[in-house]
Structure 1
Amino acid sequence: MGVGSDEGRAVRREAERVVNEVAQGLRTLNDGSSWFSALSQAERRAVLQEVGGYAMQAHITAADGQVGVARSGVKPTANPSVMICMDPPRYGFAARPADEHVKAFRVLVSVFSVADKRRRQTFCKGACGHPWHNLPL
Structure 2
Amino acid sequence: MSGTSTEDGRAIRREAERVVNEVAQGLRTLDDGTTWFSALSPAGRQQVLQEVAGYAMQAHITTADGHAGVARSGVKPTANPSVMICMGPPRYGFAALPADEHVKAFRVLVSVFSVADTRRRQTYRKGACGHAWHNLPPSAGRP
Asked if these proteins are the same fold (TM beyond 0.5), I'd say yes
Partner in structure 2 of residue 49 of structure 1:
50
- Cα RMSD (Å) of the superposition? 0.8
Q: C-alpha distance in 1, partners of 2:68/2:99?
A: 25
Q: C-alpha distance in 2, partners of 1:126/1:11?
A: 29
Q: How many residues matched?
A: 136
For structure 1, the 5+ residue unaligned runs are none
Partner in structure 1 of residue 141 of structure 2:
none
* Matched residue type, 1:60: I
Q: C-alpha distance in 1, partners of 2:39/2:54?
A: 21
Q: C-alpha distance in 2, partners of 1:127/1:57?
A: 17
Q: C-alpha distance in 1, partners of 2:112/2:106?
A: 10
TM-score for both structures, normalised by structure 2: 0.93
Q: Does 1:62 align with 2:87?
A: no
Q: C-alpha distance in 2, partners of 1:59/1:109?
A: 14
**By how many angstroms is 1:123 displaced?**
1.0
Partner in structure 1 of residue 21 of structure 2:
20
Q: C-alpha distance in 2, partners of 1:60/1:73?
A: 19
**By how many angstroms is 1:79 displaced?**
0.2
For structure 2, the 5+ residue unaligned runs are 139-143
Paired residue secondary structure (2:111): helix
Runs of 4+ in structure 1 off by over 6 angstroms are none
Give aligned-pair identity as a percent: 82
Q: C-alpha distance in 2, partners of 1:88/1:58?
A: 14
